[in-house]
Chain A
Amino acid sequence: MTKAQFDDLIHAPARLRICGVLRQVEQMDFAVLRDTLDVSDATLSKHLKTLAEAGYVSLSKAASVSRSDARRLTWITLTRAGRNAFDAHLRALHEIAGIAD
């Protein structure tokens, strides 16, 4: 069982939401994550960069046949370290809120 561990880097509201959505899936396209959270490209990119630097997310590019320009799909994955940190942070939030898991 994951031990509760409050993580200041994850707890910033946008990053908490990013991790919360990514925790549900194996991988997600940048555009789907942006639309789900209703944030701008720049905001999402900034927080993903912070999470990637911490080793919590990884980004990979793939060619897109549906786009006429040279843009590529960006797939985002919550890494094992990211999943562990998020789970521990979630447990800490449950403890603070006084909610049993």
Chain B
Amino acid sequence: MENDFERRPSPYEAAASLRDLAADRHALANGVQVPKMLMAALGGVAAWWVAGAAAANPGENYEPPTSGWLGLVAALVIAHLIRRETGIRFRQMGLRAGLVAVAILVLCLALFSISLGLVSFGARWAVVLTSLCAFGMVTWLAGIAFRSALDQLRR
């Protein structure tokens, strides 16, 4: 049985306690696996959203697709599943993970714009390529963001 401490620790014991806390933080970060399937699911949502450009009608009669809201809901559901899968709800993701998240948004917008351009030139088939690019890049970047958040746990 463990008794409560009734005396102050020595400087050596206090330093040892602080070292133990640092070791636990590393153990926590090292023990969490990147949920690769869910990272790929985020990539899938991005690919699906970019592919929506193929059904759009660029030009004067262009109407933005409503799939953006569905994509946002899907991304939030996946974020919830990531939390369930890893058993961790992060307090803060860190600057690097935040920058990667912004990069994902910018990338998706850029690929969607490129896809609209391709459709306007009659190359609707080429949207397959931009969608595949969105899938690969977002899956990769989401993994980087998650690993950055794990690194944040070590500090």
Contacts and interface: CB of A to CB of B under 8 A. Distances in A.
Contacts of A20: 20-21, 24-25
Contact of B84 (A6, A8, A73, A97): A73
Nearest to B30: A36
Interface residues of A, number: 33
A21 interface: yes
Contact of A25 (B3, B8, B27, B153): B153
A25 B89 contact: yes
B17 interface: yes
B115 to A, nearest CB: 35
Contacts of A26: 89-91
A88 B94 CA distance: 23
Interface in B1-23: 2-6, 8-11, 14-15, 17-18, 20-21
A71 B25 CA distance: 28
Interface string A1-32: 00000101101111011001100111111011
A24 B91 contact: yes
Contacts of B120: none
B6 A13 contact: no
Contacts of A21: 24-25, 28
Contact of A36 (B5, B9, B20, B28): B28
B11 A12 contact: no
Contacts of B5: 8, 11-12
B31 interface: yes
A29 B21 CA distance: 19
B10 to A, nearest CB: 8
Contacts of B89: 25-28, 75
B31 A36 contact: yes
22 contacts: A8-B5, A8-B6, A9-B4, A13-B17, A16-B17, A17-B21, A20-B25, A21-B28, A24-B25, A24-B28, A24-B153, A25-B88, A25-B89, A25-B90, A25-B153, A28-B87, A28-B88, A32-B28, A32-B88, A73-B84, A96-B9, A98-B11
